[in-house]
Structure 1
Amino acid sequence: MPAPKKKKTVHGAVSRRMALMPTAKSELSSLKMKLKVLQRVNEIAASTFDVQPLLDRAMDLVTEIAPSEAGSLLLLSSDRTTLKFSIVKGSASAKLEGLEIPVGQGIAGWVAKTGIPLTVNDVASEPKWKKEIADNVDFPTRSILCVPLKSRAEVIGVVELINKLRDEDYNDDDLEIIELLGAHLSTLIENSRLYSEAREKVERISAMAETSALISSSLDVKRVLETVMNVAKDVIDAEASSIFLYDEEKHEFFFEIATGDAGDAVKQIRVPWGKGMVGWAAEHMQTLLVPDVTKDPRFYSKVDEKSKFQTRNAITVPLKPKNKLIGVAQVLNKKGGLFSREDVELFETLARQAAVAIENASLYTDLQELFLNSIRTVVSLIDAKDDYTAGHSSRVTQYALMIADQLGYDTENRKRLELAALLHDVGKIGMPDAILKKPSGLTAEEFAIVKDHPNKGAEALEPIKQMKAIIPGVRYHHEKLDGKGYPAGLSGDQVPMDAQIICVGDSYDAMNSDRPYRKGLGMEESVRRLRQDSGTQFNPKLVEAFVSALENEEKK
């Protein structure tokens, strides 16, 4: 009797295992599918930063994972009142793309409003379904699967699939995998938006850089004004020209530029507010043409008396950039006759140029600071992607400039290094948060994405002519002296000096800062490691310059 009992027990265990096998196979298949989705999402994320191509590829993946006749990605408007068909797959795509529907209406509108996913396998019996859209585009609809896209717990859009192929119903597995994909798609959308915003800021920085270059070429404002006034005198064919600047404290005007025979004689003369043609043009903020000064009560004769110059006629123009008075320009005595209306228009144009030159000279310092602040804004987008790297770029810049000061960098080289250090990690914009914030070791594929950020940063800056000089520092700041760095494997003197300096500052900050997997090492240990890797990873001269600067800071 014991033997048959044992055989029955074995048979029962085998039966139970056999019963569990379909479930195990199903779970394994589901896991494989999820891994495949994650792999494909990472491939899409690494393929482009541009929003539309990225979303288009993502929707191809959506309709592949849950095979359907059609699929749409709808994004929420900025005022959160409408959904726009941004990407549409299927036969009705041409009619649907760009179409907007109110939030709250239809299945997609309901999902956007509530943030709750919905599967409907018989839309005719679903009150939320708005058949008008399907009728308008002549697309028979049988079933719908719709999931919300969320960023920081807030709905930013929805993914909608229509009519599962082979007349099948959407099931829980479909919903689960599309929700998983939707979560990653939301991250891609948010990162793409950040990249677009950053690119827009970089483009704005480019425009400011071009303006700064123009300002830098005309910092000698007096020389510029003298040129403008001499051109005015010669082209308009006048005997003299001048620029008066307004002294707000003394409420009077003084000669800044005076051309013609009496130029030197008038330099000490001042004109009170409201006096003469200069005072009138300033007070009324209007151009004044006087054909004969002897017949005009606004003529201030004391200037002629002191300068021994005889004024016959004049054009007087207020200098008012952005409608703020800063002075007055004037041309005197048309040779051989009277000033014409064309002379007035030309002089007004030249006066505006003079006003811009004066304002630019006074705003130069402010513009330079604005330019740097714009760069810092872009950098803050990068650092804000990870709480542990907040302030990283600013600290690396500080450390790089400490080294530069030890090496005696001049102003121009120091400014170039500062920009390169601030933007050294700009290539991390658009990198998946899952990689940046991963608390454990990266896979080979993930590390390959990380290693490409210096190239991505350099490529983002290449279209900007004024950024050309800083690109080597950005592209090669992860190179090592022994040639074992990335992305190009440069060695020794092949590594640009700016990149070597940034590498020291970047490495020190990485060691000295807290990370998800460890506490910061502290100054003493971080310095020890810098010295330990001197000659292989780091330039020994730069390490010692940095250590010296750190010690000097400690003594303060």
Structure 2
Amino acid sequence: MAFLRNPDKQQFTAYEKKFIGVINKSISSTLEILRLYEGLKKLYLNTVKALAAAIDAKDPYTHGHSFRVAKYSVAMARKLNLSEEAISDLEIAVYMHDLGKIGISEAVLKKAGKFTDEEYNEIKKHPHFTGKILAPINLPDFIVLTAIQHHKRLDGKGYPLGLSGDQIISTAKIVAVADVFDALTSDRPYRPAMPVEKALEILINDIDRAFDRKIVLALIDVLKDNDIIEEIKDVYRDLKFVDIHGLNCFLTTLTDQLVRPVIRI
């Protein structure tokens, strides 16, 4: 930091020099606090990532799931013009969204066949468990609600609590789309990974019932953006496609369909 004065002006007085020293010490202290804060923030995020990795490791079929959902969610949030602060909180919420699976039996999580009603009801408890795990940490409501509401549907048929429409926090709607897209395009014990085109068609068939239209559009924009795809390759699975060479044309056609409201009978 430098303080300059024109040659034709008088030299700094002793008082001014002392005042400059006070400013320098004040700024130095502030910068040190900011450095420590950034260090704590990084440690916090790495701890959250470690928890997510531990949960994903319970089931080899979901290995890396939380990291992929986080990347999709953050990329969609940027397409939707969320603030960087909101995106940062969203990323933390996504890493925590499946923490409640620690309370679900591994026999159920790893089951190769179709769930019984009893097993499915057990699976549906994991957002509730996530809420109980996060409650003592005193996190902002934004993060907690995003984490525990990612299985909500717009029509109120999701779980838990059956919230609908605007009762669901908007960021949870982003995670819902990312979560289902990654699940559909990943191998599962009961089925192989679907091609991207098939997964998108399933999402589109549930638009305005389960999924928010503008968020599905944001996902399509993400898949059309080569820069974003390059950015998330570190956690990207080997996605399958029906026709990789015709993908952009397919995505453009879907976009055209989505900007026109679907009339349901």
Residue pairs, 1:143-542, within 5 angstroms: 262-266=14-18, 358-542=31-215
**More RCO (CA 8 Å, sep 6+):** 2
For residue 359 of structure 1, report the CA deviation from its aligned partner: 3.0
For residue 373 of structure 1, report the CA deviation from its aligned partner: 0.5
* Residues 79 and 222 in structure 2, CA contact (< 8 A), matched pair in contact too: yes
* Residues 114 and 190 in structure 2, CA contact (< 8 A), matched pair in contact too: no
For residue 382 of structure 1, report the CA deviation from its aligned partner: 0.5
Give me the whole-angstrom Cα distance separating, in 2, the residues matched to 1:499 and 1:402.
Answer: 14
**TM-score under structure 2 normalisation?**
0.75
Give me the whole-angstrom Cα distance separating, in 2, the residues matched to 1:375 and 1:356.
Answer: 29
Between structure 1 and structure 2, the one with the greater Rg is 1
* Residues 383 and 389 in structure 1, CA contact (< 8 A), matched pair in contact too: yes
For residue 500 of structure 1, report the CA deviation from its aligned partner: 0.6
Give me the whole-angstrom Cα distance separating, in 2, the residues matched to 1:264 and 1:548.
Answer: 56
For residue 474 of structure 1, report the CA deviation from its aligned partner: 1.6
> Structure 1 436/356 Cα, relative in aligned 2: closer, same or farther at 3 Å?
farther
For residue 458 of structure 1, report the CA deviation from its aligned partner: 1.0
Root-mean-square deviation (Å): 2.6
> Structure 1 402/355 Cα, relative in aligned 2: closer, same or farther at 3 Å?
closer
User: What SS class does the counterpart of residue 519 from structure 1 fall into?
Assistant: coil
For residue 263 of structure 1, report the CA deviation from its aligned partner: 4.4
Give me the whole-angstrom Cα distance separating, in 2, the residues matched to 1:501 and 1:460.
Answer: 22
Give me the whole-angstrom Cα distance separating, in 2, the residues matched to 1:540 and 1:468.
Answer: 25
* Residues 76 and 174 in structure 2, CA contact (< 8 A), matched pair in contact too: yes
Give me the whole-angstrom Cα distance separating, in 1, the residues matched to 2:203 and 2:189.
Answer: 22
> Structure 1 487/360 Cα, relative in aligned 2: closer, same or farther at 3 Å?
same
* Residues 103 and 129 in structure 2, CA contact (< 8 A), matched pair in contact too: no
CA displacement 1:314-369 (0-9 Å, x = unmatched): xxxxxxxxxxxxxx98xxxxxxxxxxxxxxxxxxxxxxx99875532223333222
Give me the whole-angstrom Cα distance separating, in 1, the residues matched to 2:132 and 2:142.
Answer: 13
Higher percent of residues as helix: 2
- Corresponding residue number in structure 2 for 1:322: none
For residue 461 of structure 1, report the CA deviation from its aligned partner: 0.7
Give me the whole-angstrom Cα distance separating, in 1, the residues matched to 2:69 and 2:105.
Answer: 23
Consecutive unaligned residues of structure 1, counting only runs of 5 or more, are: 1-244, 246-253, 256-260, 270-327, 330-352
CA displacement 1:7-40 (0-9 Å, x = unmatched): xxxxxxxxxxxxxxxxxxxxxxxxxxxxxxxxxx
Equivalent AA in structure 1 for residue 166 of structure 2? D
**TM-score under structure 1 normalisation?**
0.37
Task: Report whether the alignment pairs 1:549 with 2:222.
Answer: yes
Give me the whole-angstrom Cα distance separating, in 2, the residues matched to 1:465 and 1:427.
Answer: 17
CA displacement 1:76-96 (0-9 Å, x = unmatched): xxxxxxxxxxxxxxxxxxxxx
Give me the whole-angstrom Cα distance separating, in 1, the residues matched to 2:16 and 2:38.
Answer: 31
For residue 434 of structure 1, report the CA deviation from its aligned partner: 0.4
Give me the whole-angstrom Cα distance separating, in 2, the residues matched to 1:268 and 1:453.
Answer: 57
For residue 481 of structure 1, report the CA deviation from its aligned partner: 0.8
User: What SS class does the counterpart of residue 485 from structure 1 fall into?
Assistant: coil
* Residues 461 and 468 in structure 1, CA contact (< 8 A), matched pair in contact too: no
Give me the whole-angstrom Cα distance separating, in 1, the residues matched to 2:94 and 2:226.
Answer: 20
For residue 407 of structure 1, report the CA deviation from its aligned partner: 0.8
User: What SS class does the counterpart of residue 14 from structure 2 fall into?
Assistant: coil
Give me the whole-angstrom Cα distance separating, in 2, the residues matched to 1:365 and 1:478.
Answer: 32
> Structure 1 361/527 Cα, relative in aligned 2: closer, same or farther at 3 Å?
same
* Residues 379 and 423 in structure 1, CA contact (< 8 A), matched pair in contact too: yes
**Percent same amino acid at aligned positions?**
38
> Structure 1 530/263 Cα, relative in aligned 2: closer, same or farther at 3 Å?
farther
| Matched pairs, number | 218
User: What SS class does the counterpart of residue 462 from structure 1 fall into?
Assistant: helix
User: What SS class does the counterpart of residue 466 from structure 1 fall into?
Assistant: coil
Equivalent AA in structure 2 for residue 379 of structure 1? A
> Structure 1 354/547 Cα, relative in aligned 2: closer, same or farther at 3 Å?
closer
Higher percent of residues as strand: 1
CA displacement 1:50-71 (0-9 Å, x = unmatched): xxxxxxxxxxxxxxxxxxxxxx
Give me the whole-angstrom Cα distance separating, in 2, the residues matched to 1:365 and 1:377.
Answer: 18
- Corresponding residue number in structure 2 for 1:350: none
Give me the whole-angstrom Cα distance separating, in 2, the residues matched to 1:409 and 1:518.
Answer: 35
User: What SS class does the counterpart of residue 154 from structure 2 fall into?
Assistant: coil
Give me the whole-angstrom Cα distance separating, in 1, the residues matched to 2:198 and 2:44.
Answer: 36
Give me the whole-angstrom Cα distance separating, in 2, the residues matched to 1:487 and 1:429.
Answer: 17
* Residues 461 and 467 in structure 1, CA contact (< 8 A), matched pair in contact too: no
